[in-house]
Structure 1
């Protein structure tokens, strides 16, 4: 069974984030899926493609470290600002190219510099059947 293509509106979850987020894909590749811009592994830019996940609870995040130290060692979550420096790690079909870059599918993962792993919850692609 094939893995769904990821597009604008896909829900994302970070292992250290308190809330889900939404993927934003600019229509640069001019490829659509479910009438939405299709994503590639290069759609990983913080605050452009990857929106915040509420608050971050990672003890590798400098803001969380500082707030926890100020609270005398009590873990203090701070606002999430994703730190995704590298592209998505292709999951299913890295041979499918969109604008010379591998397409992003629902099995792909993205690493945050603050030790979080970002996964696709709902790929954003929906299929409607016409009777």
Structure 2
């Protein structure tokens, strides 16, 4: 084996030889960084943590389900009922101005126009939520 260069660790005095094309770097403490692959235990622990994080969440819809179409009068009655139940204030920030209806599960992801899927949000909170699912917001 042909040695191209060597480096001496200032703390321990160890000599490290390099092959062509390889480099060594010091970390902030002055020790050599030795990049290592994640172990199986580390990967398994990360998978368990991710599962626990999303344990209480509902699964994402796998495909778009068409929502039932409703007319203007029925939509108005639903909106009035949701606003009344929310006390005419935003359910996230408590604002009483620029109130809108928000679909908890967005219509683009299969949510419908039923009362259990609607909430009262102000315009800025509704725009911040966009088309995210409830478990995407908490993350």
Q: Give the TM-score normalised by structure 2.
A: 0.21
Higher RCO (C-alpha 8 Å, min separation 6): 1
* Higher helix proportion: 2
In our comparison, the structure showing a higher alpha carbon Rg is 2
Q: Give the TM-score normalised by structure 1.
A: 0.21
* Higher strand proportion: 1
